[in-house]
A and B are shown apart, each in its own frame.
Chain A
Amino acid sequence: MLNDALQDHVITHSFSDESGTVFFNQVTGETLGVSLSKEQLAKLLFATEIDTTVQPEEIVSLSRMIKLPLFYTESSDEF
């Protein structure tokens, strides 16, 4: 599910202690770690409204790694 939403050249790993997920862009080398489990990220992908529990900075960074719903990317311009 999460894999389908990854940006081009991005791979990911969610850790077994559910502390979060890391992303790696194989072309640019950019690495990102967020404190969201695979399930939390899936919820984010299928949300119909903004999840206010997720930090705005995490949304901005995440949008470089996964294809977030449009309302997140539009609102991230304000951050």
Chain B
Amino acid sequence: MSSSVQYLLLPPFCFEVKTDIPFVASNLKQVYGPRLIDSAECPDYFVSVQKAEGIRKFYRPQARFFSDQQEPFQPLQQQQAYAMLEWGMNWCVASHEMQYVIIHAAVLAKGNKAILFPAPPGSGKSTLTAWLAFHGWRLLSDEMALIQPHSRQVTPFVRPICLKNNSIQLAKAWFPEGNFSTVASDTHKGDVIHLSPPESSWQQHTEPAEIVGIVFPNYKVDTTLDIYQLTKTQGFMQFATNAFNYGVIGTQGFSTLCNVIEQVPSFEIFYNDLSAVSEFLLQELIDGSC
């Protein structure tokens, strides 16, 4: 089969996406809708997900991801190709966009007031993100916060929300009308699916927001909501741990993180009640900020 070439307009970036795997093309259409276009003038990244050649294709087909001539990952099972494309696009941005301080964090906002949720995998970050995004919050990113250096401004990079394992059934029950990708099973993160955020988040994908708080989420099955305010030193250290390019951009990254931490409160929360989290965020961080 010949490869299809399409373009994803995801401000502030544009990706040329090439694939010869039909379900990758259909997932792109399902998840990105009108953001998937037939032509673009100057793509920032040229990515492709292609069927791997060789004898393996007869008994265990694989897919390979390329960004220009680079192949950053080992080939994966072909049924994981769409997830690999999403991870590959994340890799492109995290590895090259040094004009931002990039934090591994979800970003949600009310108006132009943004809250960062930096967290390692398994903390329930994406489940919380999906729930908030479909309950009146604006999604700026599920995976990475692009902070303008020496400011508190976050540039949106709206992308689908990556849900794993038990969260998949939860999200499908919560949002039966949602645009989901197909499931990639047995990945290094377990089973994975991508959920398109609500249209309102897509429509505001060029409007930056100002950070008013940082919340480190931890899902805990037996706790409704426990909140601990962190000291600035504790907040900084947790924040820096989740920074992708902090060590690379050096002084600029350090002073940006110090500046953010000085100006906004940071909390660690343990939760299983998502509406209680939303209420806390609204009262403590959105309404409480200037």
Contact = CB atoms under 8 A, between A and B. Distances in A.
Interface of A: 11, 13, 15-17, 19-22, 24, 26, 29, 31, 33-35
B237 interface: yes
Given A13-B258, A16-B262, A21 B233 contact: yes
B231 A17 contact: yes
B254 A19 contact: no
A26 B250 contact: yes
Main secondary structure on chain B at its contact with chain A?
helix
Top 4 A-B pairs, shortest CB-CB distance: A29-B247, A19-B231, A20-B233, A15-B232
Interface in B252-286: 254-255, 258, 261-262
Interface of B: 231-234, 236-237, 240, 246-248, 250-251, 254-255, 258, 261-262
A26 B252 CA distance: 10
A52 to B, nearest CB: 21
Given A13-B254, A19-B231, A19-B232, 7 more contacts: A13-B258, A15-B231, A15-B233, A17-B231, A22-B237, A29-B248, A33-B234
A33 B251 CA distance: 16
Contacts of B255: 13
A1 B236 CA distance: 23
7 contacts: A11-B254, A15-B233, A15-B236, A22-B258, A29-B247, A31-B237, A33-B234
A31 B242 CA distance: 12
